[in-house]
Amino acid sequence: MPTTILESAPSMARLLARAALTTRGRGGDLPDTRLARNGVQVDPADLAAYDRVCRFPLTDTLPATAPHLLTFPLQVALMSDRSFPLALPGLVHVRNRIEVLRPVGADEALDLEVWAERFAAHRSGATVDLCATASTGGSEVWRSRSTYLARGATAPEGAPEADVYVPVGDLARPAATWRVPDDAGRRYAKVSGDVNPIHLSGLTAKAFGFKRAIAHGMWVKARVLGALSGRLPDAFTVDVAFRKPLFLPSTVTLSTAQADGGWDVAVRNAASGTEHLIGTIRPL
C-alpha cells in the first residue's frame, strides 16, 4: 500500500475547487493510497479559537475532536484526487467514530495517516469510510472513522452492507438548550478550515440543494463533548450518527443519559424533535 507523505496541509479551498471540477468520469474501487504528515503540532492560538467556537475549556489537552482538524485536509485530498471513485460534492457525513486511546497533549507532535476503506452498499447509495490515525513515537494515540454517504452511487460487487446507525437508550429529558445562530457555520469554518459552501450561507447552500445553510456535523459533535467536559473518561470512544441536517439558525436540545460507564447523547430540534445527532460515549 503506497503512502504519500505531505510536507504541509493542503489548501482546502483549492481541493474543494478541484473536486468540484472533476466530478465526472469517476468510478471503480477505492484507491489503496495513504496520505500522511509527520510531526504535526496544533497552533495554540488556533486551538484556543477552536475551543471557543465549540465551547471546550482551554486546556493543555486536545479535545477528542481536535486531531480531526489535522487529518481532515488529508481526507479531502484523498477524496478530491481523480483516483477516488466518488465525487466529493454531494458526499454526506453520516457517521463519525473517534477513539481517544489516551489524553493527547496540546503540544505533542503527531504523525498522521489517512486512508479510505469499506466501500459499502446503502439502500440509497453507497458509503465509504475515511479512516485516520494520530501517533507519537510509533504508537497510536487517536483514531477516527468518518462514514460518508454518496446518494445514487453503486458499491462494487460483493460490498458489505453500510453501517450508519448508532443505537442509543432512552433520552427523554433535555440537559440543555442551544440557540444555534445564523453564523455558526461561518464561525466553525474559520477555525476548522472546512469551508464547504453548504455551511457558509443560505445562498451558497441553496446552490447545493439545501434550503438554508446547515451546521457542520463535527461542530455539533464537538459541542456535545464540550457540554460533557469534566465528565469523560481519559480513554474513550465517541461514536455518533449524523441524522437530519441542522438548518441555521435553529434552537436545539441536548439530551444526555449515563450508560455503561459513559453516555448516550442526542441533539434534536427543540420544536419539532427532529434528530440531528445521536451517539454513544464509552470508556476504552
Question: What is the binding site for other proteins (CB under 8 A)?
Answer: 52, 173, 175-179, 227-228, 231, 256, 258, 263
Nearer to other proteins by Cβ, of 159 and 270: the residue is 270
DSSP string, 1-30: --EEEPSSPPPHHHHHHHHHHT-TT--SSP
Nearer to other proteins by Cβ, of 36 and 228: the residue is 228
At closest approach, how far in Å is the CB of 106 from other proteins? 20
- Residues 240/278, Cβ–Cβ less than 8 Å: yes
- Residues 56/226, Cβ–Cβ less than 8 Å: yes
At closest approach, how far in Å is the CB of 55 from other proteins? 10
Nearer to other proteins by Cβ, of 149 and 267: the residue is 267
At closest approach, how far in Å is the CB of 83 from other proteins? 41
Nearer to other proteins by Cβ, of 64 and 232: the residue is 232
- Residues 95/146, Cβ–Cβ less than 8 Å: yes
- Residues 186/119, Cβ–Cβ less than 8 Å: no
Buried b / exposed e over 133-172, threshold 16 CB at 10 Å, is: bbbbeeeebbbbbbbbbbeebebeeebeebebebebeebe
At closest approach, how far in Å is the CB of 195 from other proteins? 19
At closest approach, how far in Å is the CB of 270 from other proteins? 10
At closest approach, how far in Å is the CB of 54 from other proteins? 14
- Listed residue (139, 80, 135) closest to 113, CA to CA: 135
Inter-axis angle of helices 66-80 and 184-192, nearest 10: 80
Task: Tell me the C-alpha distance between 141 and 98, whole Å.
Answer: 11
Phi, psi for 45 (deg, rounded to 5): -70, -40
Nearer to other proteins by Cβ, of 3 and 251: the residue is 251
Nearer to other proteins by Cβ, of 59 and 177: the residue is 177
